[in-house]
């Protein structure tokens, strides 16, 4: 892994268990990333500096996770020319996570934030890989292999279910014949 291409930011270290899967996915695809805490409310100057300078440091995509009022993704998007992927987090003081979801989804026109499902940083990591793959054919090849593995996994389950279903049907048929 070389130059950092994806910045993963979160409002608090309590968000780390939710955000870690984004970093895990990026490592799996061999995409260099950094992970750090940038609180929109407690360290606004840090947020401004981080978001404004990320592209100058070679970062190409930002993933921002936040709970509660969840201003981090939107503020990062307002300050940076980079695509921002928002991860709403169900925090300890949240309204079942809906506050975070709606805060990140309801961005005003002109300040887009791509938003994944509640606590789904894995999809944020995959979306970052897909964004980068537009300009990196080797990543596209890895993504195609990943999607083929997903397909094969489902087909194995389909086959297993069909076999198990047939076995159960055969067992039921034999039981009825014995009666």
DSSP string, 35-80: EEE--TTT-HHHHHHHHHHGGGGT--EEEEEEETT--HHHHHHHH-
pLDDT digits (tens, 9 = 90+) for 68-93: 889 999 999 999 999 999 999 998 88
169 has a pLDDT exceeding 70: no
| The pLDDT value given to residue 91 | 85
pTM across the whole model: 0.88
Calpha distance 130→2 (Å, rounded): 18
Q: Who has greater pLDDT, 50 or 173?
A: 50
| The pLDDT value given to residue 1 | 44
Q: How many residues does the chain have?
A: 179
pLDDT digits (tens, 9 = 90+) for 93-109: 878 889 999 999 999 99
Indicate the fold that domain 6-135 takes in CATH: Rossmann fold (3.40.50)
- Split at pLDDT 50, 70, 90, the class of 127 is very high
Mean pLDDT taken over the chain: 92
Where does 115-136 have alpha helices with state H? Answer: 121-133
pLDDT digits (tens, 9 = 90+) for 19-30: 999 999 999 999
Write down the domain spans for the chain. Answer: 6-135, 137-179
| The pLDDT value given to residue 2 | 56
């Amino acid at each position: 892994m070389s130059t950092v291409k994806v910045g993963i930011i979160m409002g608090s270290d309590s968000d780390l268990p939710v955000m870690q899967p984004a970093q895990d996915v990026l490592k799996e695809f061999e995409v260099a990333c950094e992970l750090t805490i940038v609180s929109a409310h407690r360290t606004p100057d840090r947020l401004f500096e981080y978001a404004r300078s990320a592209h100058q440091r070679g970062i190409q995509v930002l993933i921002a996770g936040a709970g509660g009022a969840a201003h981090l993704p939107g503020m990062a998007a307002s300050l940076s020319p980079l695509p921002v992927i928002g991860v709403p987090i169900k925090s300890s003081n949240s309204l079942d996570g809906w506050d975070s979801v709606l805060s990140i989804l309801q961005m005003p026109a002109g300040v887009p934030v791509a938003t994944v499902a509640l606590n789904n940083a894995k999809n944020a990591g995959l979306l970052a890989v897909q964004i980068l793959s537009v300009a990196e054919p080797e990543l596209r090849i890895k993504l195609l292999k990943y999607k083929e593995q997903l397909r094969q996994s489902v087909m194995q389950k389909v086959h297993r279910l069909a076999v198990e279903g047939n076995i159960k049907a055969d067992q039921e048929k034999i039981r009825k014949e014995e009666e």
